[in-house]
Amino acid sequence: MSEKTIFKRIIDKEIPAEILYEDERCLAFRDVRPQGPVHFLVIPKKEIPSVNELAEEDAALAGHLFVVIRKLAAELQIHETGYRVVTNCGPNACQTVPHLHFHVIGGRSMSWPPG
């Protein structure tokens, strides 16, 4: 059996994280290396490695993750100034953790395109 990812270990509460939200389908926690004043990750509890493996049956789950993002952005007061939602998929995008996750970054002005 392959080793658990760091995010699966956070889901299983084997390692700590600053959890902002949790329900039966997903978890949101602060990124340990924040790229802005607010930087959190929203992940499904289901072990989906990346967008590449997202199936038709995961459509409602993917939608749910975005509703959680919207609620947390409002809670953390970045909804009016704006924020970025990013998912890295594969080596060219520098994905480091093979468990689907959405970065939500806000609290500062950002350039586009990113470097």
Does 97 participate in binding ligand AMP (rule CB under 6 A)?
Answer: yes
Q: Confirm or reject binding of residue 11 to ligand AMP (CB under 6 A).
A: no
Q: Which stretch binds ligand AMP (CB under 6 A): 27-35, 54-62, 74-82, 107-115?
A: 27-35
Tell me the Ramachandran region of residue 94: left when phi exceeds 0, alpha when psi lies from -120 to 50, beta otherwise.
left
Per CB under 6 A, 1 contacts ligand AMP: no
Choice from 33, 56, 60, 111 touching ligand AMP (CB under 6 A): 33
User: Is 101 an annotated catalytic residue?
Assistant: yes
User: Minimal distance in Å, beta carbon 104 to ligand AMP?
Assistant: 11
Site string for ligand AMP, 47-86 (x = CB under 6 A): ----------------------------------------
Closest CA to 109 of 59, 43, 36, 39: 36
